[in-house]
Each structure stands twice: as C-alpha cells, then as structure tokens.
C-alpha cells in the first residue's frame, strides 16, 4: 500500500507531501490544474521515464518520493534480497528519484543508490495504472494467461505444470547428456582403456605429489646433514674425552685427600674449592656421555636406504609426466582415474543406462502433458465464466454493444512450456457482428480503461496475495449520469480489497471516495504553482457541487452533492 508521496519542484509543484490511506481516493480539479503532475511524480518515483521537462523552472532538480508499506510476504522483499538491497520487512519501503535540469536522474531505494530499472520493476509490483493511454498490462497479451489462471483458481495446477515442465526438461537433458557422453566415449574407448591401464599401474594417491616433494627435499638435505653429524661423532669418538675427564676427576680427588691429611678441614676454603671443581668435572663427564648418545640418535634418525631418494624422484617424475599427458593436475589424477572408469563402465552398461534415462524422460513427459491438459480444462471452463462475468459488467459502463471473449488456443508440443499448452488472449468486439480482435487493436483509450475496470471488478475477491495500488486516470472520460455512477460503484468495490486512486471529473465517482483531494493552480503570471487540498465535509460538498453545476454553484447543486455523498 502507498502511504505517502513527497514531491519537490516537479513542474508546477514546489513542495507537496501527501499521506494516503486505504480505500478509494479521488483527485478532482479544473482541467489544467495539475492532476496529471501528481501521477507523473508518482511515476517518476517508481521508475517511469524522466526528462528535464519535469524540473520546475529555475530549479536545479526535481525529486519525487513514494513510501510504501508492503506486507512481510510481498514479492518486493524477495526481489530486493536478490538485488542485494538492505531492508527490514517491518519497515516502510521508500522509493526516491531525482532528475536534474540537465536530464540526468538518480534512483534510490531506502536511501541506497540503485539503477532506474530496479525502481521500475519495483513499481510494476506495487502499482497498476489504467487510463486513456496507459493500460499497458491489459494490452500485453502475456498478462492475460496469469489473469485467467487467477480467476480460475488454478494456481496449484499452474504450479504443478511448471514443476512437471522442469522435471521433464531435466530428464530430457540428462538422457541426452548420457547419449552424447556414450557417443563420445565409444569413439575414445581404446584410448580411455590405455589411459586407465596407466593410471591403474601407477595407482596415484590423493596428496601424494606434496608428500613426495617434501620427502625429496628432506632426503636431498639429509646427505649433507649426515656428513656434519659424522664430524660431530668423530669429535666424541673413542674414550679420549671421557678418559681425560675421568683422569681430571681422580686428580682432584687426590688433591682433596692430601689437603685433608695436611690438616685442612672439610669446610676450609681450599677443600671446598677442590670439591666444587670435582663436581663440575663429574657433571661435564655425564653431559659428555649424554651428548654423544644424542648425536648417535640424530644420526640414526637421518639414516635411509641408499636408493630411497632415487625412488622418490622416480615416483614424483612419473606422476608429473602422466599428469601432463592427461592434461590434468597431479592432485586430480585419482579423480581422472575414477572418471575414466565411470565412462568405460557406462560404455559397457550404456544400453541399460540409456534405457533407464529415456524411460525417466518419457515418464516425465507424460506427467507434464497430463498436468498441462488438466490445466487447459480449467482454463477453458474459466474462460467462459470470466467472459460472462466481464460482459455482465459492460452495459452499466456504456459498453453494452461490446463483448469480451477469452481465446484459449491449444499449442503444439513444440511450443510447450512451463505455463502449459495454451495461448490465452482477451479479445473484444465493440459492436454486434464485428469481428473479435486484440484489445489494443479494437478498443479506444476510454473503452480500454473501462474494460480494465470491468475486468478488475470481475476478478474482485479472487486475488492471491497483496493487491497493488490501482490508478484509474479519467476512466469516466466521456460518460456521465448512471454510467459514471456505475464506474464509481465498481471503483468502490475494488477499493474494499486494496487501494484505488482515481483522477476524475465525475461527481458520481468523487462522491464515493473515502478520501478526496482537490488539485488547484494558484499564483500570478511569474509564479504559478499547483496545490493539493484534502477535502472533508463542507469543502468536499462544495467541490462536488462545483463538479455538478460548473462555475456558479447553486443550492440545488449543493443538495444534489449531499445526496450523492450519502447515497
């Protein structure tokens, strides 16, 4: 639902902020007052074509802002998510457009810059415009089939057809891919067999290249490291070091005993120093023995078979050579082995696998056509009902000589698609005996708008999901009296389910609105501006009386206005 419209410097409007509620809102005013500018501004905010002519004279840019309050499940939220636009489902949706005096424009959604096409597609989800020259959706025959399905209550059947179509397409593609793969594989069978034999013989393992490269580097470094360790072993070889340390320890022990015999005490300084020296030599002896053992352990860790490096290099080079031959990375050799094995197995089991795939495709095809034909039956029945319903709406709208029919034309299998087997088009004959033709080719602008109103009235109550804002621009053009009253009744009926905005010169239509805006033009020759006044009670009565009586409002016109307002 549209809840607000802000306009800045658009043509004759300087500043305008409108709050819009549910139900039927009527825009009235003298011809040329600027009612169309409000619709132009709303179109600007929802992505319609913009040009510098919309910018108020003397201003640098025009800005139009439309604020919507879509329910949480509305399609616009999924669309915004797909486009990467940030939003909160419980907040308003703000569409804004700026157009400069140079003709350049910028578009924003919730203050995030977007392309104009995003704004336009959002507008198409949120607004329908029906008028003298703008009933685009109804003129586009592609919209007729969804409208018929909506009237038929055929959404589940249409969804089943779309699903069956996807299943059939995927099954066909799978069968054809298998057939193509088998054809290719048969031509390459001998070569594939040789490749698989090479791969089986080499038996590559996942991650093997990395492991071999690391081992090769380690083994290459190990030869030099062993030479260095051997030098360390030689330095610690034999009993020379240990013997000298033991000899030093014994000499220090004798020195301690002589000092004691000479009368020195155990705690005397010479004896204590000799003891400390002996303990240090003893520790050195132990650590020398530990160091020798550690060197031997390190040497043992680096010992390897004499040809181990050669074997690792041969294995690594063989893997890389085969990978180059098969044009794959070394780490993908196990996957390539499995793929070739599958292809060869498919060749061996090709006929059976192909038969299974073809059977699945045939079953999916039959399911699709069953679903599509069931949908066609629903459409054919609904086509008669919707034509009858719309035709019953036409006489009160001064279209009593016109007739609508819904052509449901079966399509050939070659034109089957996710929407089924039918081409649907609304056709009209404007006079008895005249041939039926497409709406755009037969109906005039005013007739089109009233056909749209009749169709919407016939569809009322059959909607699925939130209804868009419907705008009817002078749908009552050229009619009055009972016909205008019939137009007002149908607009009122449509507004019960959503939101309708009507630009009208008909007092019968304006009197049925919940909200009434009067558009007027004020100012002198140098400063003309359009203003909008929200009318209630007496001012509204005066406006409707003006629409009835013209320039001179009489008491009779006022009484007639009151009667219309309370009818």
pLDDT at 525 over 70: no
Per-residue confidence (pLDDT) for residue 526, from 0 to 100: 64
Instruction: For 189-246, give the DSSP string.
Output: HHHHHHHHHHHHHH---TTHHHHHHHHHHHHHHHHHHHHHHHHHHHHT-SSHHHHHHH
Q: Which of 31, 30, 48 is CA-nearest to residue 39? A: 48
User: According to the model, what pLDDT value does residue 367 have?
Assistant: 97
Q: What is the pLDDT of residue 442?
A: 62
In this structure, are residues 23 and 514 in contact, taking their beta carbons and an 8 Å threshold? Answer: yes
Least confident span in 217-221, 275-279, 531-535? 217-221
pLDDT tens digit sequence for 450-470: 888 888 888 776 655 566 888
Between 187 and 56, the higher pLDDT residue: 56
What mean pLDDT comes out for the span 163-188?
A: 88
The reported pLDDT for the residue numbered 481 is 81
Convert 515-528 to b/e letters by CB count within 10 Å (16 or more is b): bbbbbbeeeeeeee
The pLDDT assigned to 461 comes to: 66
Q: Please tell me what DSSP assigns to residue 87.
A: -
Most confident of 301-305, 310-314, 421-425, 518-522: 421-425
Is pLDDT larger for residue 404 or for residue 442? 404
Phi, psi of 244 (to 5 degrees): -65, -40
Tokens coding 527: 């400063």
Q: The dihedral of CA 318, 324, 327, 330: what is its sign?
A: positive
Q: Which helix (H) or strand (E) holds 287?
A: helix 269-301
* pLDDT bracket for residue 416 (50, 70, 90): very high
Stretch 301-312: mean pLDDT, rounded? 70
Strands 127-131 and 469-473, sheet pairing:
parallel
Token pair for 157: 């059947």
For position 455, what pLDDT does the model report? 84
Q: What is the mean pLDDT of residues 269-291?
A: 83
- At residue 446, the pLDDT reads 67
What is the reported pLDDT for 225? 72
Q: Mean pLDDT over residues 31-39, rounded? A: 83
Average pLDDT over all residues of the chain: 86
Q: Pairing between strand 528-535 and 515-523? A: antiparallel
Model confidence at 152: pLDDT above 80: yes
The span from the CA of 98 to the CA of 61, in Å, is 7
Q: Are strands 499-503 and 23-28 parallel, antiparallel or unpaired?
A: parallel
How high is the pLDDT of residue 465?
53
Q: Is the pLDDT of residue 59 over 70?
A: yes
The length of the chain in residues reads 567
Number of other residues whose CB lies within 10 A of the CB of residue 137: 17
Q: Say yes or no to pLDDT of 74 above 70.
A: yes
Average pLDDT over residues 346-360: 84
pLDDT of residue 496: 85
For the sheet containing 422-429, what is the strand order? 403-410, 422-429, 437-438
Block residue for tokens 């169709």: 455
The pLDDT confidence band at residue 247, using thresholds 50, 70 and 90, is confident
Task: Using alpha carbons, select from 247, 7, 43 the residue that is nearest to residue 133.
Answer: 43
Judged by average pLDDT, the poorest of 139-143, 414-418, 496-500 is 139-143
Q: What is the pLDDT of residues 113-134, one digit of tens each?
A: 999 999 999 998 899 888 655 5
Percent of the chain at pLDDT > 90 equals: 37
Report the candidate in 549, 457, 471 with the shortest Cα–Cα distance to residue 66: 471
- Tokens describing residue 532: 């909008």
- Is the Cβ–Cβ distance between 455 and 147 less than 8 Å? yes
CA torsion, points 447, 453, 457, 460, in degrees to nearest 10? Answer: 140
Can you give the C-alpha Rg of the chain in angstroms?
A: 46
At residue 401, φ and ψ (nearest 5 deg) are -90, -5
- Strands 422-429 and 403-410 come out as antiparallel
Least confident of 133-142, 241-250, 549-558: 133-142
User: Average of pLDDT values for 330-356?
Assistant: 85
Q: Identify the pLDDT of residue 20.
A: 92
Query: Both tokens of residue 475?
Result: 């749908």
Checking if the pLDDT of 35 tops 80, the result is yes
pLDDT at 250: 84
pTM more than 0.85: no
Q: Give the dihedral sign, CA 340/344/350/352.
A: negative
Confidence of residue 191 (pLDDT cuts 50, 70, 90): confident
pLDDT at 235: 72
H/E element, 106: strand 105-109
């Amino acid at each position: 639902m549209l809840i607000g419209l802000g306009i800045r410097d658009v043509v004759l409007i300087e500043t305008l902020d409108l709050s819009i509620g549910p139900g039927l809102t009527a825009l009235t005013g003298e011809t040329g007052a600027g009612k169309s500018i409000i619709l132009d501004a709303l179109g600007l905010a929802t992505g319609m074509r913009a040009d510098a002519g919309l910018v108020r004279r003397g201003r640098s840019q025009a800005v139009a802002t439309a604020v919507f309050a879509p329910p949480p499940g509305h399609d616009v939220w999924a669309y915004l998510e797909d486009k990467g636009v940030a939003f909160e489902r419980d907040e308003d949706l703000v569409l804004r457009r700026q157009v400069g005096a140079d003709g350049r424009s910028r578009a924003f959604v919730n203050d995030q810059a977007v392309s104009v096409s995003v704004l336009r597609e959002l507008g198409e989800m949120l607004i329908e415009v029906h008028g003298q020259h703008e009933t685009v959706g109804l003129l586009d025959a592609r919209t007729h089939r969804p409208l018929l399905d909506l009237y038929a209550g055929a959404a589940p059947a249409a969804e089943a057809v779309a699903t069956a179509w996807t299943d059939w397409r995927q099954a066909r593609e799978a069968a054809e891919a298998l057939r193509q793969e088998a054809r290719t594989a048969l031509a390459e069978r001998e070569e594939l067999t040789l490749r698989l034999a090479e791969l089986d013989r080499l038996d590559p393992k996942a991650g093997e290249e990395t492991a071999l490269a690391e081992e090769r580097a380690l083994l290459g470094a190990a030869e030099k490291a062993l030479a260095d360790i051997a030098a360390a072993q030689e330095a610690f070889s034999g009993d020379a070091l240990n013997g000298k340390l033991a000899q030093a320890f014994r000499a220090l022990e004798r020195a301690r005993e002589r000092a004691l015999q000479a009368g020195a005490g155990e705690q005397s300084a010479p004896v204590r120093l000799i003891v400390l020296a002996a303990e240090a030599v003893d520790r050195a002896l132990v650590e020398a023995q530990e160091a020798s053992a550690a060197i031997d352990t390190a040497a043992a860790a680096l010992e390897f078979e004499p040809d181990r490096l050669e074997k690792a290099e041969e294995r690594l080079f063989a893997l890389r050579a085969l990978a180059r031959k098969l044009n794959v990375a070394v780490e993908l050799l196990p996957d390539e082995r499995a793929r070739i094995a599958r292809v060869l197995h498919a060749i061996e089991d090709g006929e059976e696998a192909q038969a299974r795939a073809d059977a699945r495709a045939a079953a999916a095809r039959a399911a699709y056509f069953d679903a599509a034909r069931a949908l066609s039956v629903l459409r054919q029945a609904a086509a008669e009902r919707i034509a009858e319903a719309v035709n019953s709406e036409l006489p009160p709208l001064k279209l009593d000589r016109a007739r609508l029919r819904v052509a449901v034309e079966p399509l050939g299998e070659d034109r089957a698609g996710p929407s089924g087997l039918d081409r649907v088009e609304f056709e009209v004959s404007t006079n008895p005996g005249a041939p039926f033709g497409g709406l755009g080719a037969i109906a005039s602008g005013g007739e089109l708008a009233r056909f749209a109103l009749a169709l919407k009235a016939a569809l009322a109550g059959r909607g699925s999901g939130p209804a868009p804002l419907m705008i009817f621009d002078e749908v009552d053009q050229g009619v009055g009296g009972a016909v205008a009253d019939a137009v007002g009744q149908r607009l009122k009926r449509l507004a019960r389910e959503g939101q309708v905005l009507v630009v009208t010169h008909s007092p019968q239509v304006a009197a049925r609105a919940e909200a009434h805006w009067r558009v007027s033009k004020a100012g002198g020759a140098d400063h003309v501006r359009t203003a909008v006044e929200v009318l209630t009670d007496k001012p509204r009565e005066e406006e409707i009386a003006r629409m009835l009586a013209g320039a001179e409002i009489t008491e009779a016109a006022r009484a007639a206005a009151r009667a219309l307002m309370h009818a």
